[in-house]
Amino acid sequence: MAYKILKREELNSQVIRMDIESPPVARKAQAGQFIILRVDEFGERIPLTVADTDPERGSVTIIFQTVGKTTMKLAGKREGETIEDFVGPLGRPTETEGLKKVAVVGGGVGCAIAYPVAKKLSSLGCTVHSIVGFRSRDLVILEKEFRAVSDRFVLTSDDGTAGEKGLVTDALKRLIEAGEAYDEVIAIGPLIMMKFVARLTKEYGIKTVVSMNPIMIDGTGMCGGCRLSVGGETKFACVDGPDFDGHLVDFDEAMARNAAYKETEAREREEYCRLLGK
């Protein structure tokens, strides 16, 4: 079965949003869950978080950054074309019940994961403070969407070209020290960002949840590729997560494992670019 691309939109030079026709996933997917897709029958399996759904239309929104061979192939697809596989929803939904006030912290393309969580919390009547960070203005995504579901919205950039100059941890610390009392902080973005958000919130005793996206193959817990150390125990992101207690995650181990195939990924990307004549 092939899955049609209903809509394709370039959010910036590196990030693309697609609506994929998949009524079963659209009916069941919840904030925090993900899908695994293959672009074609010869392609690798990659996990992508569900950024939004439209059950009536039967569509699922994915947002991805073109960083490797598979995402480059996916980015080359156009509206009306199809992809080979689109499996999900996988993983455990983000736990949102009972939360009254939450800071949602997103970094870079991780904001595509943070947005549906902020949207869900807002729909439940939770007070949502969204803090999102990017390297520069030209990389900002989903600003309008975040503003629509946030009681307070803070945009930061490394170079000061968007919002306030600085890191998301700077903005979060300022809000906490100004007296904002959060039931929970939910951080989603680069591993290094989540590590330092968790380190900050631990100082203040604020529960912190992070969304982990390690190397993943089958998405069912059988291959063990997505294993993490959480509180000294081995967990599998695809079935135990992707959300975990940020104060218990061994981020240094996770970063080392994620870097294990960087050279291989770079070679694959370069070879694919050569084939395309780029």
From first to last of the 278 residues of the chain, give the pLDDT tens digit.
Answer: 789 999 999 998 889 999 999 999 999 999 889 999 999 988 888 899 899 999 999 999 999 988 888 888 999 999 999 999 999 899 999 988 899 999 999 999 899 889 999 999 999 999 999 999 999 999 999 999 999 999 999 999 999 998 899 999 999 999 999 999 999 999 999 999 999 999 999 999 999 999 998 777 777 777 777 888 999 999 988 888 899 999 999 999 988 887 766 666 666 667 656 666 66
User: Among 129, 219, 133, 109, which Cα is nearest to 175's?
Assistant: 129
Judgement on whether residues 203 and 160 belong to the same structural domain of the protein: yes
CATH code, domain carrying 53: 2.40.30.10
Instruction: Give the span between the Cα atoms of 174 and 128, in whole angstroms.
Output: 16
User: Among 104, 10, 105, which Cα is nearest to 66's?
Assistant: 10
Judgement on whether residues 141 and 186 belong to the same structural domain of the protein: yes
Single out the residue in 182, 211, 240 at which a domain terminates: 211
Q: Is 34 within the bounds of a domain?
A: yes
Q: Which domain holds residue 200?
A: 94-211
Identify the pLDDT of residue 277. Answer: 64
Phi-psi region of 35 (alpha: psi -120 to 50; beta: other; left: phi over 0): beta
Identify the pLDDT of residue 174. Answer: 95
Q: Is 129 within the bounds of a domain?
A: yes
Judgement on whether residues 102 and 204 belong to the same structural domain of the protein: yes
Judgement on whether residues 136 and 185 belong to the same structural domain of the protein: yes
Q: Is 76 within the bounds of a domain?
A: yes
Judgement on whether residues 44 and 24 belong to the same structural domain of the protein: yes
How many domains is the chain built from? 2
CATH code, domain carrying 170: 3.40.50.80
Identify the pLDDT of residue 222. Answer: 78
Under 8 Å between Cβ of 108 and 34: no
Single out the residue in 166, 183, 211 at which a domain terminates: 211
Judgement on whether residues 59 and 86 belong to the same structural domain of the protein: yes
Phi, psi of 272 (to 5 degrees): -65, -40
Q: Is 271 within the bounds of a domain?
A: no
Instruction: Give the span between the Cα atoms of 171 and 193, in whole angstroms.
Output: 13
